[in-house]
């Protein structure tokens, strides 16, 4: 019975760690969205001019690259933890 409780505790710790990682990732997404908006959009309107559109595109590209790097790092951490 104690083994089951220890297994449940380990599962709970893994679940909490995964949820914390999700929360950190979500916070990072919001942070990048704010950065891109603040950097690229000077005055909101009905349409984006080409400069704003290019800026947002570049910012999003950097965001995607960063997201990929973060996700890869999390996968490495999880893989090392599972060994």
Confidence of residue 5 (pLDDT cuts 50, 70, 90): confident
1-82: CATH topology is Helix Hairpins (1.10.287)
Domain map (residue ranges) of the chain:
1-82
Query: pLDDT of 19-62, one tens digit each?
Result: 998 898 889 878 888 899 899 998 888 888 999 999 988 998 88
CB contact set of 55 (below 8 Å; sequence gap of 6+)? 36, 39, 40
At residue 44's C-alpha, the angle toward residues 43 and 50, to 5°, is 80
* Entry pTM: 0.54
The residue that leads in pLDDT, 4 or 5, is: 5
DSSP secondary structure code for residue 13 in this structure: H
DSSP per-residue string spanning 26-73: HHHHHHHHHHHHHHH-SS--SS--HHHHHHHHHHHHHHHHHHHHHHHH
């Amino acid at each position: 019975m104690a083994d089951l409780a220890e297994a449940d505790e380990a599962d709970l710790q893994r679940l909490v760690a995964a949820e914390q990682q999700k929360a950190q990732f979500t916070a990072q997404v919001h942070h990048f969205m704010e950065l891109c908006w603040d950097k690229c959009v000077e005055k909101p309107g009905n349409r984006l001019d080409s400069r704003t559109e290019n800026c947002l595109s570049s910012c999003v590209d950097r965001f995607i690259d960063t997201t990929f790097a973060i996700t890869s790092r999390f996968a490495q951490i999880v893989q090392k933890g599972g060994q």
